[in-house]
Structure 1
């Protein structure tokens, strides 16, 4: 069983890490927000089909259930992916993956604000600060030029991570017993609709799409491997491993993004990229140290001082 879990964990890290590379490759053929919308038009339909097959609640019914879908669609699908896809225009896939790996750190910060039962200790504050320092190291601004196209792109990816973290915390405030597959499916479809509206609002055009094989492969990979299959593996692992261990996928994904970026795109791995990743991961370990310790010794129960 542990071998199966480890294999699925690696598969999920590969699927989600290489997704950043697929996004970068596809941006040569699609306007960014429209590209993200296309991804979730198709992924949402696939996930909805799976929800119909695997659950007895394939659509939301109550106001809290629709609220849950609304939060997921707005923050975790639309805002996250719109900012991410636009941000990746100016940074490598590895750097984007590393900034997104800040999400579990930001989630803890938002939990402290919106969930009163969550506590943030002094060492937890240090963890937050270390994570932010990691983003600063990644930005590596040129002397005398703090605001460049690269730093703007990094900021957009940071906004993506922030939106996802905020959405994940807000969903915990909603008392709704909706199957996660159903919530994901409807959130994807709602998020896709929002992104289509945003795409029109910022002046993107269907005429700008270049339907060439490389772009179609990138879109298909994101829909089938990174979204549909990736989320199915995620659901399975979430039940078996719990949220702490599954969060570690966020830190395996940048390694995959770096490798696939070097192999398939003209990207290079810099010292600043490695240092930024190390600092963000260190921040996560400081924040989740007691929960990680509980997992390592086999209790699976975070102690009172976590966060």
Structure 2
């Protein structure tokens, strides 16, 4: 029963996070991008903070390390990642699936940053090939060549790549900080301070409430992102991270683009092209090469558990 529960939650998480790219695309027709991202995390941050007060004994950061981790989360994991992602998705040539595929590079980039910042992390020659394959996947997806380097679609995809790099870098930095703060508390305060930073950036970019077009579709997209993709999504993620571990939960990054493509096709009439599929294949192959040892250990664990159940 637990195995099926984990599978159902995993697929729900992939569906929610994958379809979030469609919701972002839909909402951007009614909200300025950075303001849209900020309001999303105003709502999600308050919900997560309420959950932190309910579920943990330390809902407030206490130590210097706690505040450092919140700062990294606010600047890189929330503000930089979402501001660049939302701005990148304003380009009409960037489909929901393409954005999701670029973001799926996150585990590959995280491993690359860990190589330089975490002393216990080491990349082998095969791991370096995996990292390069992941980067090549983004190049294929962005259709990089001298003639279209400054084209709108390419620039937008590179902005989304920058968002993914910011998230990966922030993830590694938080692992270097010796904080004992519960993850729910860290996420709540990072969301709130990240939202504040995005509001400041939004004003600096000249966005205003006058640019907002109130509509049922826009409000629905905002609530879906805040309640489903952020609040519910992170709660499921925390639960599965504890039950499955980081290797298996990382695979959600490679299932989410499928749901991004399906939801983009159903609701926005988006059709992924060949470069989207090719970029995804290279990124996924890069992930397999980088995480081959962990994947091998996980397969042995799963096969060993099945063998034990057969012998009982």
TM-score by length of 1: 0.96
Matched, 1:150 2:153: yes
Matched, 1:80 2:81: yes
Residue 104 of structure 2: aligned partner:
101
Structure-2 separation of matches of 1:252 and 1:216: 27
| Cα drift, residue 297 of structure 1 | 1.1
Matched, 1:26 2:27: yes
| Cα drift, residue 140 of structure 1 | 2.0
Runs of 4+ in structure 1 off by over 6 angstroms are none
Matched, 1:39 2:21: no
TM-score by length of 2: 0.94
Aligned residues: 300
| Cα drift, residue 145 of structure 1 | 2.5
Judge conservation of contact 2:88–2:160 (CA < 8 Å) in 1.
yes
Matched, 1:118 2:121: yes
Q: Please list every run of 5 or more consecutive structure 2 residues that lacks an aligned counterpart in the other structure.
A: 304-312
Matched, 1:271 2:299: no
Structure-2 separation of matches of 1:143 and 1:55: 53
Compute the RMSD of aligned alpha carbons.
1.2
| Cα drift, residue 206 of structure 1 | 1.1
Q: Please list every run of 5 or more consecutive structure 1 residues that lacks an aligned counterpart in the other structure.
A: 301-307
2:222 corresponds, among 187, 197, 219, to: 219
| Cα drift, residue 89 of structure 1 | 1.1
Judge conservation of contact 2:95–2:272 (CA < 8 Å) in 1.
no
| Cα drift, residue 272 of structure 1 | 1.1
CA offsets 1:69-112 (integer angstroms, 9 cap, x no match): 00011100000000000001121111000000101100011001
Structure-1 separation of matches of 2:102 and 2:147: 23
Structure-2 separation of matches of 1:144 and 1:136: 14
Matched, 1:204 2:207: yes
| Cα drift, residue 266 of structure 1 | 2.3
Q: 1:274 to 1:293 in 2, by over 3 A?
A: same
